[in-house]
């Protein structure tokens, strides 16, 4: 009877207690982090190698389509990618399909470029620029694919596109080497479908959207993919840098352990309670 | 590798033409009155049970088409919601409809009103029961979750295109004890619905449900035409695997079926 | 004392962080129970999200793509806004048909674009599905393990395709294949669920980090 009560109580535990345990778990591992090396997956390696093979002054488009809701996953990815592009001396432009991302991604790009050792990136417009907000990504990609300055008339600061030093010599997306889609939503099919054929595509989705990416990886329509925060951690490790990915990975890993524990206990309690009821 | 134009690989153009022909032919058959068979989806019984339960509990049902922009998926969702509204109107079960798209909102008003008229209960239609909350994903989710909690909905029907907010709907519905039926083509959201809902209609079953309930010739014909296309793809894949196994993946014959430049390499001997 | 000075909202930046922290805690309060604070911040969030997107829409879209070209001589853009405004006729019973012109243009354009999307997305995937399933020597370097992987891939692909056939009653071997397809789907959905759990945990970790680092300054 005593044993039966324990299992029944376990099934009926108030979910608010579980939320509290989860919060404390995350807080503890954020406050007391330790080094946790990442196992580098081949999609992350693929994206890293693709960016690493860029030459100085190669043009890269970063399609940043996330909002504050997914900042925890997309911000570390964007920071790691921008740091790598700076390291390679590549030129990059950002474009956003989400209103909040226009400001968020610009703020992050300013932060990373200003704190970099490469002085060429300290001045906006020289080696990087933000092309602003576009409502219809399909129209924007097709437009940029034929004529960049017609499709995106001004950058986010109001400067005409053809007056930006970063885009000297670039008439359209055909002059870009790569596009990296940092997104929590389904924008990848648009880039794959409507880009110029020579433009290779990298993907930095939230973990939710990663499942879609595997089919494109298999068919080589994507060169690589970093999945959410874990992907950002892998990318940082490949670069030999520490960033938000490193800071968060302990908390995420051990929150998963906690969830597994809850699932195991919950199922065990359900089985034992049913068995006890059956015996009774 | 990317196929941008028909001349990149002519087989692709032929394939598109064949699939279009399948679909158009079956739409033609359906319009001519030919009874096209669609097998009954198991989720349909769950819909009827859910409506019955909501009626017994005297609490409203909630219809959510998700973040669906106005288009094919939205129209299919509205077909299903029209059926649900018609069925619930027979028992005068109160209904709430929440949308995140202004165009879907306006079309839904017409659709729901028609449903009540078809059920013979036009007086039950309340314009305020159809609400546009916000086009921002999590703002919409917060609003919908709040409404579920306040009105203690008895049944939750979620059909359409969903993104990350899907689990917020499903979990909140669970918390208020609602019976939940979901159907979506968003592969990434199906797991949440499977975990949190009483029944989930997965992927293409969503289109089949809409065709089955509405019996519109275009939908029926499209579904049967797509089935023919799937059989064609399956045959192609089987054939391609056998060729790849015995003649290698580099054989020009395989390039015909979807490699940019593969058609020319095989038929004109170019690029070999 | 120094910590307290840094903690309190005595500067604009700190006030912003305090507001963010209060919003976070208020919205998370739904986990305890439904309460007026959650409702207030829920409505605030909805209003803010709608209002925020208006700024870039007007500044980045209407001004850049409609007003500037119009004032620089592209007079035909004058028709763009009235044409778009026809969508509002959907509210009129008598003239509702006018809105269908706009909707028709939008749907027609999407339908046309979809042909290219289908070819670019799915045809390469069909081509990539032509995988060798037995190491016969026709493919140099094909290991037995890869061949087994490819065989599993083909079996799963065909069984899932069979599950989604609706135009005939599924019986016998077809039904068994469809059942296998459903099992494979469920396994894949479980993997997707795990991925998504990771996403949710990451977002929660991000918020907790904000509270502990930005607000409470404990990290």
Rounded Cα–Cα distance for residues C185 and C164 (Å): 11
What CA–CA distance (Å, rounded) separates A10 from A271?
12
Question: Which residues of chain A register pLDDT less than 70?
Answer: 1-4, 280
Interval C102-129: pLDDT, tens: 888 888 888 888 888 888 899 889 999 9
- Res. B2 pLDDT band, cuts 50 70 90: low
Contact B24, B218 (CB under 8 A): no
- Residue ranges covered by each domain of chain C: 1-73, 80-128, 134-219
Contact A227, A215 (CB under 8 A): no
Alpha carbon dihedral C138, C142, C148, C153, in 10-degree steps, equals -80
Residue B198 above 70 pLDDT?
yes
Asked whether residue C98 carries a pLDDT value surpassing 60, the answer given is: yes
Kindly list the residues from chain C whose CB atom is less than 8 angstroms away from the CB atom of residue B39: 166-170
**B64-108 confidence digits (pLDDT tens):** 998 877 778 898 999 999 999 999 999 899 999 999 988 889 889
CB contact under 8 A, C120 and A230: no
Q: Give the residue with greater pLDDT, B6 vs A79.
A: A79
Note whether B19 contacts A: Cβ–Cβ < 8 A.
Answer: no
pLDDT at A117: 94
Structural contact between residues B260 and B10, judged by C-beta atoms closer than 8 angstroms: no
Closest Cβ opposite residue A135 in set C61, C128, C198 = C61
The arrangement of strands across the sheet holding A224-225 comes to: A128-133, A91-96, A59-64, A178-183, A200-205, A224-225
What is the arithmetic mean of pLDDT over B161-187? 89
Give the residue ranges of DSSP H helices in A99-209.
Answer: 99-114, 137-146, 148-151, 188-194
Residue of chain B whose alpha carbon sits nearest to that of C132: B245
Asked if residues B119 and B86 have their Cβ atoms less than 8 Å apart, the reply is yes
Which chains are adjacent to chain C, needing at least 3 Cβ pairs under 8 Å? Answer: A, B
* Out of A106-115, B45-54, C172-181, least confident range: B45-54
pLDDT greater at residue B71 or residue C86: C86
**Among residues of chain C, what percentage have pLDDT more than 70?**
100
Give the closest-approach CA distance of B206 to chain C in angstroms: 11
Query: pLDDT higher for C36 or B265?
Result: C36
CA B38-B42-B43 angle, 5° bins:
110
Q: How many structural domains comprise chain A?
A: 2
| Cβ neighbours of B187 in A, within 8 Å | 211-212
Domain boundaries, chain B: 6-35+219-268, 43-215
Summarize the confidence of residues B202-225 as an average pLDDT: 92
Taking the C-alpha atoms of residue B74 and residue B45, their distance in angstroms, rounded to an integer, is 22
pLDDT given for residue A4 in this prediction? 57
Whether A53 and A160 share a structural domain? yes
User: ipTM score of the complex?
Assistant: 0.89
At residue B269, the pLDDT reads 77
| Residue A199 falls inside a structural domain | yes
Answer whether A251 sits within 8 Å of C203, measured CB to CB. no
A7 and A121 both lie in a single domain: no
Q: State whether A208 and A129 are in the same domain.
A: yes
Q: CB-based contact (8 Å) between C204 and chain A?
A: yes
C50 contacts on B by Cβ (under 8 Å)? 134-136, 139
Domain check: are A238 and A263 in the same one? no
Q: Do B164 and A220 touch (CB under 8 A)?
A: no
> What is residue A229's predicted lDDT score, i.e. its pLDDT?
94
Helix (H) or strand (E) holding C187: helix C172-209
Q: Evaluate if residue B178 carries a pLDDT over 90.
A: yes
Q: Whole-number mean pLDDT of chain B?
A: 89
For range B196-219, the mean pLDDT: 91
Whole-angstrom distance, CA of residue B212 vs CA of residue B38: 7
- Say if CB A90 and CB A245 are below 8 A apart: no
In the prediction, which pLDDT does C207 show? 95
Token reading at C100: 């269908």
**Domain match, A124 and A151 both:** yes
Whether A37 is covered by a domain: the verdict is no
A220 has a chain B CB within 8 A of its CB: yes
Which helix (H) or strand (E) element contains residue B183? strand B179-184
State which fold the B43-215 domain adopts: Rossmann fold (3.40.50)
pLDDT at A183: 95
Reported as a single tens digit per residue, the pLDDT across C21-50 is 999 999 999 888 888 999 899 888 888 887
pLDDT exceeds cutoff 90 at C219 = no
pLDDT value at B271 more than 70: no
Q: Are residues A23 and A159 in the same domain?
A: no
Nearest to B11 by CA among C43, A59, C123, A231: C123
The answer, for B137 touching chain A at a CB cutoff of 8 Å, is yes
Tokens of C155: 């079996």
Q: How many whole angstroms separate alpha carbon A66 and alpha carbon A182?
A: 7
pLDDT digits (tens, 9 = 90+) for A188-217: 999 999 999 889 999 999 998 898 899 999
Stretch B126-130: mean pLDDT: 92
Q: Are residues A133 and A265 in the same domain?
A: no
Tokens found for residue A171: 């008439």
Instruction: Identify whether residues A233 and A260 lie together within a single domain.
Output: no
Question: A129 lies in a domain?
Answer: yes
C65 has pLDDT over 90:
no
Q: Which chain C residue has the Cα nearest residue B221?
A: C167
- Strands B155-161 and B130-132 turn out to be unpaired
Cβ within 8 Å of residue A266, ≥6 positions away: A10, A11
Q: Is residue A249 part of a domain?
A: no
Q: From the list C68, C116, C197, which residue is nearest A259 (CB)?
A: C197
| Res. B1: pLDDT tops 60 | no
Where in the sequence is the domain holding A260, given as residue range(s)? 2-32+254-279
Which run of H or of E encompasses B151?
Answer: helix B137-151
CB B72, CB B23: distance < 8 Å: no
Rounded to the nearest 10°, the torsion over CA A20, B191, B198, C204 is 20
Q: Which residues contact B169 (CB under 8 A, 6 or more apart)?
A: B64, B141, B144, B145, B148, B156, B158, B162
Segment holding C183, helix H or strand E? helix C172-209
Query: Of A138, A193, C126, whose CA–CA distance to B3 is shortest?
Result: A193
**How many Cα neighbours within 13 Å face the side chain of A121?**
26
Q: Does A234 touch chain C (CB under 8 A)?
A: no
């Amino acid at each position: 009877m005593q044993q039966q009560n324990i299992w029944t109580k376990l099934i009926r535990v108030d979910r608010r207690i579980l939320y509290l345990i989860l919060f404390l778990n995350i807080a503890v591992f954020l406050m007391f982090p330790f080094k946790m090396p990442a196992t580098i997956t081949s999609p992350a390696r693929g994206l890293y190698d693709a960016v690493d093979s860029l030459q100085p002054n190669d043009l890269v488009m970063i399609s940043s389509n996330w909002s504050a809701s997914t900042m925890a996953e997309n911000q570390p990815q964007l920071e790691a990618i921008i740091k790598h592009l700076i390291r390679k001396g590549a030129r990059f432009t950002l474009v956003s399909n989400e209103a909040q991302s226009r400001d968020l991604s610009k703020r992050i790009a300013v932060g990373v470029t200003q704190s970099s050792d490469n002085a060429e990136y300290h001045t906006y417009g020289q080696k990087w620029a933000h092309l602003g907000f576009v409502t219809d990504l399909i129209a924007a990609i097709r437009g940029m694919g034929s004529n960049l300055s017609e499709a995106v008339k001004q950058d986010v600061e109001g400067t005409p596109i053809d007056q930006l030093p970063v885009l000297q010599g670039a008439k359209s997306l055909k002059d870009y080497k790569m596009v990296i889609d940092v997104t929590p939503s389904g924008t990848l099919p648009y880039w794959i479908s409507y880009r110029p054929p020579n433009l290779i595509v990298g993907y930095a989705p939230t973990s939710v959207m990663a499942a879609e990416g595997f089919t494109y990886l298999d068919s080589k329509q994507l060169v690589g993919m970093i999945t959410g925060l874990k992907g950002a951690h892998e990318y940082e490790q490949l670069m030999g840098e520490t960033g938000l990915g490193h800071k968060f990975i302990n908390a995420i890993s051990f929150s998963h352990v906690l969830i597994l524990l809850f699932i195991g206990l919950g199922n065990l309690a359900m089985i034992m309670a049913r068995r006890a009821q059956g015996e009774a | 590798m990317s196929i941008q134009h028909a001349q990149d690989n002519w087989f692709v153009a032929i394939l598109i033409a064949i699939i279009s022909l399948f679909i158009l032919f079956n739409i033609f058959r359906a319009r001519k009155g030919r009874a096209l068979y669609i097998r009954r989806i198991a989720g349909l019984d769950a819909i009827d049970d859910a409506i019955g339960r909501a009626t017994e509990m005297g609490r409203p049902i909630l219809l959510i088409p998700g973040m669906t922009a106005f288009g094919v998926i939205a129209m299919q969702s509205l077909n299903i919601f029209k059926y649900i509204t018609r069925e619930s109107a027979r028992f005068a079960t109160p209904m709430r409809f929440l949308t995140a798209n202004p165009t879907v909102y306006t079309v839904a008003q017409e659709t729901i009103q028609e449903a009540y008229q078809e059920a013979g209960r036009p007086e039950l239609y309340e314009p305020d029961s159809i609400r546009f909350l916000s086009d921002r994903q999590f703002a919409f989710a917060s609003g919908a979750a709040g409404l579920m909690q306040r009105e203690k909905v008895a049944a939750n029907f979620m059909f359409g295109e969903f993104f990350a907010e899907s689990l917020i709907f499903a979990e909140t519905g669970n918390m208020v004890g609602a019976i939940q039926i979901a159907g979506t083509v968003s592969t990434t959201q199906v797991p949440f619905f499977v975990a949190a809902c009483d029944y989930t209609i997965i992927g293409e079953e969503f289109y089949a449900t809409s065709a089955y309930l509405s019996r519109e010739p275009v939908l029926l014909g499209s579904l049967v035409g797509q089935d023919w296309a799937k059989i064609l793809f399956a045959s192609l894949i089987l054939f391609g695997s056998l060729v790849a196994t015995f003649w290698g993946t580099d054989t020009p014959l395989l390039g015909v079926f979807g490699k940019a430049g593969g058609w020319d390499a095989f038929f004109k001997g170019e690029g070999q | 004392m120094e910590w307290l000075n840094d903690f309190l909202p005595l500067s604009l930046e700190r006030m912003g962080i305090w507001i963010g922290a209060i919003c976070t805690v208020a919205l998370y309060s739904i986990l305890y129970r439904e309460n007026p604070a959650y409702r207030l911040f829920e409505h605030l969030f909805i209003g803010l999200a709608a209002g925020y997107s208006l700024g870039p829409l007007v500044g980045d879209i209407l001004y850049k793509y409609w007003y500037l070209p119009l004032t620089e001589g592209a007079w035909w853009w004058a028709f763009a806004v009235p044409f778009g405004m026809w969508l509002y006729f959907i509210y009129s019973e008598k003239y509702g048909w006018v809105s269908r012109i706009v909707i028709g243009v939008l749907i027609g354009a999407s339908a046309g674009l979809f042909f290219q999307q289908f070819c670019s997305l799915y045809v390469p995937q069909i081509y990539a599905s032509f995988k060798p399933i037995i190491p016969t020597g026709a493919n140099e370097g094909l290991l037995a393990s890869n061949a087994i992987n490819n065989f599993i891939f083909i079996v799963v692909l065909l069984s899932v395709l069979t599950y989604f056939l609706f135009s005939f009653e599924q019986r016998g071997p077809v039904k068994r294949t469809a059942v296998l397809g459903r099992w494979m789907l469920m396994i894949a959905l479980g993997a997707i669920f795990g991925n998504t759990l990771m996403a949710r945990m990451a977002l929660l970790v991000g918020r907790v980090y904000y509270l502990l680092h930005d607000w409470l300054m404990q990290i």
